[in-house]
Structure 1
Amino acid sequence: MSNYTFCFATHKPSKEIFDLLLDIDKWWSGIFGETITGNSRKIGDEFTFSAGDGMHFSKQKLVELVPYKRIVWEVTESNLSFLDNPKEWAGTKLTFDILENKGETQIQFMHLGLEPQNECYGGCSTAWKQYFQNLEQKLNN
């Protein structure tokens, strides 16, 4: 199985990246008219993400937090109205691993459960790539 993955590097310190990632509306917005409500600062915090005039709704719960190294959200609810199975994201996990290596900080995102055989893979992987290219640009300016 091949989960969607996106990796890039920056010279920003891991603490700055970690704090930015927890501030979801600073990076998961600005492309499809997103609305984000809720919190993501401590284990158990939940937030909702809505985009595309209601075409995408998901609710995420912060389930793992290793300061400056790892963030994991579990998607607890999903309504992707453009799919035959609008609950396709439910039960998947959004993970960030942050690794410092030789003066650079590596950021690896994986959407565990978003695999090529999923209906959403094409459209969702394209959207993820747009968000992460924006994030990469923001971190490298």
Structure 2
Amino acid sequence: MKKNDFNCSIAVNISAVEAIKKISNVPGWWGITFTGSAEKQNDRFIVNMGGDSFFNFTVSELIPGKRVVWLVDDCNMPWYNDKKEWANTKLIFDLTENNGTTELTFTHEGLTPNVECYKDCEPGWTHWIKTSLFSYLTTGEGVFRPATK
């Protein structure tokens, strides 16, 4: 992780293994159109946010109970000048379990304050991780909102 890559953390009272299982159910907490699978290493999936926007992912690393990494293989973000801004970036979920509490640190490697979408993606990811994913991990229900543009 580079120092200025976006990151945030949450702590939940479930096992790290269960947390990874729930993270892999992407529509449960991200509230997007989802095709494919995100359960095993090398799985591929597509997230659509409406219109001709899309994000193609590969589960590039999966260490049970410890870490999940999604590589953005391709994307189209039509509302930005650089429509491929997320391409080759990584969404990293690092988990540490201690006495029944799992701390999850999310990092979007490559999402830094100097990229165009940061002003929208920073509050977007803060919502999706700290509010929606937290709620999904603790209650089974995500907290959906319109996509940030």
Same fold (TM over 0.5): yes
Equivalent in the alignment of 1:69: 66
Q: Specify the SS of the correspondent of 2:30.
A: coil
The residue aligned with 2:143 is none
Q: 1:125 is matched with which residue?
A: 122
Equivalent residue, structure 2, for 1:43: 41
Provide the C-alpha distance between the structure 1 equivalents of 2:5 and 2:39, rounded to a whole number of angstroms: 25
What TM-score, normalized to structure 1? 0.90
Deviations 1:80-123 (A, max 9, x none): 01100000000000000110134421001000000000000010
Q: Secondary structure at the match of 1:27?
A: helix
Q: Which amino acid aligns with 2:20?
A: F
Query: Residue 60 of structure 2 aligns to a residue in which SS?
Result: strand
Q: How far did residue 55 of structure 1 move? A: 6.0
Letter in 1 for 2:103: Q
Richer in strand (by share)? 1
RMSD: 1.4
In structure 2, what is the equivalent of residue 10 of structure 1?
Answer: 12
Distance in 2 (alpha carbons) for counterparts of 1:104 and 1:43: 25
Correspondence for 1:115 among 112, 116, 124: 112
Alignment of 1:26-37 (within 5 A): 26-29=28-31, 34-37=32-35
Separation in structure 2 between the aligned mates of residue 56 and residue 6 of structure 1, nearest angstrom: 25
Q: Distance in 2 between matches of 1:138 and 1:36?
A: 17
Give structure 1 stretches of 5+ with no counterpart.
none
What is the aligned partner in structure 1 of residue 146 from structure 2? none
Which runs of at least 4 in structure 1 moved beyond 6 Å after TM superposition? none
Deviations 1:22-47 (A, max 9, x none): 11111111xxxx21101112222110
Could you tell me the TM-score, scaled by structure 2's length?
Answer: 0.85
For 1:42 and 1:105, how far apart are their aligned partners in 2?
Answer: 20
The match for 2:23 is: 21
Aligned counterparts of 1:126 and 1:67: Cα–Cα separation in 2: 29
SS in 1 for 2:4: coil
Unmatched runs of 5 consecutive residues or more in structure 2: 140-149
SS in 1 for 2:45: strand
Report the counterpart of residue 140 of structure 1 in structure 2: 138
